């Protein structure tokens, strides 16, 4: 049995019941075979065995009291996966589906994504099975305070710097930061995605969605193509989806559909983003509200069917495994030319393969959505220097980083004989920097 197969087998035996983590590890390790075969030193140093085992996992109780005085208990997690190239960095997810497998898959992916940004940040991820939907602001605040009352002791601006993810936006980061500052009595860049009045960076809110479109544009440019006049479908209507929609429209595309977990809306005239922002960022309401404002649009109460809409570019920006083989077949039949993952692992492995086998440009999340964490690292730089940059400066750095990521994954795919396979290109390019750092630092 070769090195990769042995490590994957051991990983599955030692971590039963963690399908998302197995999926992420399999996807990455499978594509590293070509590098590992030509560098036996990695096996000798037990590099993969160390890479797939988090440096530290923190699991804790999060008790909180609702507005009616009822006590609730949620699970809290922080997986500090790898600090070879910098402090742990990665978001917090608050969603009822959160469990250890999901946090480990996200933390593992984060190692390579952060490496691809070319900035000095290690990989981590955290969260809770708490569901922020339908909770009052006071309930959210009490939950965030309770969560931070345990997590604060494991964080630090040079140790571990969490950020937002699904269910953790500006409001939650504010409450988390307030409690951290209160306990530690220090105002440092210990969380990113902060509000502008207390250390946040301009363009962080837009960064993941904008970055997704910048890297997609660069990929299209490499084939003498671009967003202008293209029909785009975007799943989700959260932070990533909204700003991907904005940038795609700025570049001349028409966004036909967006979704949330209750269904999707289709607007043949092109989505009115002001209406979406009002529903999602102001009212925090369900997406079917859109048809009240735009009666010519259609609401379909099944979010998975969004991929049946004919489009040139598909941007899955909701959650993991939301785009399966069946959907991929329909997209290919309808002539899709580019699929870029705004969410983390939204495409199943067989769907990814189908896109690649059928000549669709496929940009994996660890490259395509790295703009968020890259801008978080720029926020860390600004926090440390106590000097804050203009929107234009951050946005132009972001653009530069995303273009570079595409060039790096493209050239890695070519160098190792898999031209156009950006999954392999991203995994190899992300891995090499982390592997070098781990080799240099000895067996730790």
Least distance (Å) between residue 284 CB and ligand NDP: 9
Least distance (Å) between residue 310 CB and ligand NDP: 20
Least distance (Å) between residue 414 CB and ligand NDP: 26
Nearer to ligand NDP, 141 or 317 (CB): 317
Nearer to ligand NDP, 332 or 367 (CB): 367
**Sequence-separated (6 or more) residues with CB below 8 Å from residue 67:** 136, 138, 139
Nearer to ligand NDP, 26 or 261 (CB): 261
Least distance (Å) between residue 194 CB and ligand NDP: 13
- Of 90, 124, 167, 430, the one binding ligand NDP (CB under 6 A) is 167
Q: Which stretch binds ligand NDP (CB under 6 A): 57-65, 164-172, 214-222, 435-443?
A: 164-172
Rounded to the nearest 10 degrees, the angle between the axes of helix 371-385 and helix 391-415 is 130
Chain position carrying tokens 């960095």: 89
Spatial strand order of the sheet with 56-65 comes to 56-65, 71-82, 122-128, 88-94, 160-163
Q: Which stretch binds ligand NDP (CB under 6 A): 4-12, 260-268, 406-414, 427-435?
A: 260-268
Q: What kind and span of H or E run contains 75? A: strand 71-82
- Per the annotation, the verdict on 125 as an active-site residue is yes
**Sequence-separated (6 or more) residues with CB below 8 Å from residue 7:** 29, 48, 49, 52
Query: How many other CB atoms are found less than 10 A from the CB of residue 184?
Result: 15
> By CB under 6 A, is residue 126 in contact with ligand NDP?
no
Task: Kindly report the backbone phi and psi dihedral angles of residue 254, in degrees, each rounded to the nearest multiple of 5, phi listed first.
Answer: -110, 120
Chain position carrying tokens 């289709």: 266
> By CB under 6 A, is residue 164 in contact with ligand NDP?
yes
Task: Kindly report the backbone phi and psi dihedral angles of residue 433, in degrees, each rounded to the nearest multiple of 5, phi listed first.
Answer: -65, -45
> By CB under 6 A, is residue 342 in contact with ligand NDP?
yes
Spell out, one character per residue from 306 to 335, where the chain touches ligand NDP: x when CB under 6 A holds, - when not.
-----------xxx--x-------------
> By CB under 6 A, is residue 261 in contact with ligand NDP?
yes
Question: CA-to-CA distance for 201 and 87, rounded, in angstroms?
Answer: 19
Among candidate residues 89, 113, 125, 231, the one labeled active-site is 125
> By CB under 6 A, is residue 232 in contact with ligand NDP?
no
Nearer to ligand NDP, 199 or 316 (CB): 316
Question: CA-to-CA distance for 268 and 255, rounded, in angstroms?
Answer: 9
> By CB under 6 A, is residue 233 in contact with ligand NDP?
no
Q: Which stretch binds ligand NDP (CB under 6 A): 61-69, 79-87, 231-239, 413-421?
A: 231-239
Quick one: which of 285, 286, 205, 212 has its CA closest to 255? 212
> By CB under 6 A, is residue 303 in contact with ligand NDP?
yes
Nearer to ligand NDP, 164 or 199 (CB): 164
> By CB under 6 A, is residue 216 in contact with ligand NDP?
no
- CA–chain centroid gap for 76, Å, is 19
By CB under 6 A, what part of segment 180-209 binds ligand NDP?
A: 208
CA distances from 341 to 171, 347, 374, 417 (A): 25, 8, 16, 23
Helix (H, G, I), strand (E, B) or coil at 195: coil
Nearer to ligand NDP, 312 or 341 (CB): 341
Least distance (Å) between residue 207 CB and ligand NDP: 7
Question: CA-to-CA distance for 143 and 283, rounded, in angstroms?
Answer: 21
Least distance (Å) between residue 261 CB and ligand NDP: 3
Chain position carrying tokens 């959210």: 140
**Sequence-separated (6 or more) residues with CB below 8 Å from residue 127:** 76, 77, 91, 92, 93, 94, 95, 98, 102, 103, 165, 167, 168
Q: Which residue is nearest to ligand NDP (CB)?
A: 238
Least distance (Å) between residue 1 CB and ligand NDP: 33
For residues 402 and 366, the answer to whether their CB atoms sit within 8 Å is no
- Of 165, 218, 267, 395, the one binding ligand NDP (CB under 6 A) is 165
Question: CA-to-CA distance for 240 and 343, rounded, in angstroms?
Answer: 8
Work out the end-to-end distance of the chain between its first and last CA atoms, rounded to an integer number of angstroms.
Answer: 26
Least distance (Å) between residue 152 CB and ligand NDP: 22
Q: Which residues are catalytic?
A: 125
Residues that bind ligand NDP in the complex, under the rule CB under 6 A = 164-167, 208, 236-241, 259-262, 303, 317-319, 322, 342-344, 369, 372
């Amino acid at each position: 049995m070769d090195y990769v197969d042995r490590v994957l087998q051991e990983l599955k035996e030692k971590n039963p019941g963690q399908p998302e983590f197995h999926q992420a590890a399999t996807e990455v390790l499978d594509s590293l075979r070509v590098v590992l075969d030509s560098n036996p030193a990695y096996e000798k140093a037990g590099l993969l065995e160390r890479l797939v085992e988090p440096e530290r996992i923190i699991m804790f109780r999060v008790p909180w009291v609702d507005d009616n005085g009822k006590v609730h208990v949620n699970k809290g997690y922080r997986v500090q996966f790898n600090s070879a190239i910098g402090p742990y960095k990665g978001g917090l997810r608050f969603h009822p589906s959160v469990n250890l497998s999901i946090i480990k898959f996200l933390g593992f992916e984060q190692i390579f994504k952060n490496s691809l940004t070319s900035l000095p940040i290690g990989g981590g991820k955290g969260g809770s099975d708490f569901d922020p939907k339908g909770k009052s602001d006071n309930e959210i605040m009490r939950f965030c305070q309770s969560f931070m009352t345990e997590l604060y002791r494991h964080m630090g601006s040079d140790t571990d710097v969490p950020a937002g993810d699904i269910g953790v936006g500006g409001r939650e980061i504010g409450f988390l930061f307030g409690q951290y500052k209160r306990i530690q009595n220090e105002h440092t860049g210990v969380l990113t995605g902060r509000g502008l009045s207390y250390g946040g960076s301009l363009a962080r809110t837009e960064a993941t969605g904008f970055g997704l479109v910048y890297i997609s544009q660069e990929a299209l440019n490499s084939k003498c193509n671009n967003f202008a006049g293209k029909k785009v479908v975007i799943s989700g209507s959260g932070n990533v989806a909204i700003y991907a929609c904005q940038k795609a429209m700025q570049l001349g595309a028409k966004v036909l559909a967006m979704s949330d977990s209750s269904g999707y809306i289709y607007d043949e005239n092109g989505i009115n983003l002001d209406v979406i922002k009002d529903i999602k960022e102001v009212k925090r309401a369900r997406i079917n509200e859109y048809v009240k404002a735009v009666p010519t649009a259609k609401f379909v109460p099944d979010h998975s069917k969004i991929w049946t809409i004919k489009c040139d570019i598909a941007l899955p920006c909701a959650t993991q495994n939301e785009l399966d083989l069946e959907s991929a077949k329909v997209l290919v039949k309808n002539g899709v030319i580019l699929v870029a993952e705004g969410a983390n692992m939204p495409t199943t492995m067989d769907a990814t393969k189908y896109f690649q086998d059928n000549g669709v440009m496929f940009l994996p999340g660890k490259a395509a959505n790295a703009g968020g964490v890259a801008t978080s690292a720029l926020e860390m730089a600004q926090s440390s220097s106590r000097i804050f940059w203009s929107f234009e400066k951050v946005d132009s750095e972001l653009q530069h980083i995303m273009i570079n990521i595409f060039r790096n994954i493209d050239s890695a795919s070519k160098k190792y004989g898999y031209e156009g396979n950006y999954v392999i290109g991203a995994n190899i390019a992300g891995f090499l920097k982390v592997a070098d750092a781990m080799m240099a630092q000895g067996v730790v």
